[in-house]
């Protein structure tokens, strides 16, 4: 502890500064229940990180299945089982479909990478993890129902002054 007047190093429990005679500031008492609150908040952050990992795997898996199905359907690989306007004739020209499918693959990988980064940042309690998780939460709000639920839960747990200070103390 240091003197607030001259900056002299004070011994613990010393009431006055021996150099300038100024009274020492009383020690700040710890906040009651803060350790319990930090442990409770840490368990919420860990659960949130695990759910972000699960959401990333689920989004990647469903996206891969959906895009593989779309690619097979648009390329005519369903054969005689395919029903539609071009089932008995030649396929219509693809146009921009390959480019749209490539964009969808890139979007899928980026969305899964962002969810993984949010989970990893929260699990490691990195300062950037909170920001990445908030951005991922806002972007996943439109992915009803799982993305919306995860986004709302993330925003409730991470936003606000109290939660911000608790996260910094972890």
- How far, in Å, CA of 45 to CA of 51, rounded? 10
Q: What single-letter DSSP state applies at residue 3?
A: -
- In this prediction the pTM is 0.72
Interval 65-109: pLDDT, tens: 999 888 887 776 665 555 555 555 555 556 777 788 889 999 999
Q: What is the pLDDT along the chain (170 residues), one digit of tens a residue?
A: 778 778 888 887 788 888 888 888 776 666 677 888 999 999 999 999 999 999 999 999 999 999 988 888 777 666 555 555 555 555 555 677 778 888 999 999 999 999 999 999 999 999 999 999 999 999 999 999 999 999 999 999 999 998 999 999 88
Residue 16 three-state SS: strand
What pLDDT score was predicted for residue 86?
Answer: 53
What single string gives the DSSP state of each residue in 41-86? Answer: HHHHHHHHHHHHHHHHHHHHHHHHHHHHHHHHHHHTTTGGG--STT
Q: Domain segments of the chain: what residues? A: 34-83+92-169
Partners of 16 in beta bridges = 23
What pLDDT score was predicted for residue 28?
Answer: 66
């Amino acid at each position: 502890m240091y003197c607030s007047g001259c900056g002299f190093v004070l011994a613990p429990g010393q009431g006055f500064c021996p150099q300038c005679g100024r009274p020492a500031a009383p020690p700040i008492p710890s906040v009651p229940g803060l350790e319990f609150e930090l442990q409770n908040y840490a368990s919420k952050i860990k659960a949130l990180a695990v759910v972000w990992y699960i959401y990333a795997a689920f989004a990647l898996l469903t996206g891969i299945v959906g895009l593989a199905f779309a690619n097979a359907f648009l390329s005519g690989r369903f054969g005689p089982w395919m029903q539609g306007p071009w089932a008995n004739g030649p396929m219509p020209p693809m146009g921009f479909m390959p480019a749209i499918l490539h964009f969808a693959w890139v979007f899928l990988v980026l969305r899964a990478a962002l969810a993984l980064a949010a989970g990893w940042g929260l699990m490691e309690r990195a300062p950037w993890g909170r920001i990445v998780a908030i951005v991922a939460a806002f972007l996943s709000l439109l992915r009803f129902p799982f993305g919306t639920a995860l986004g709302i839960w993330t925003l409730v747990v991470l936003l606000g002054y109290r939660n911000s200070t608790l996260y910094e103390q972890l």
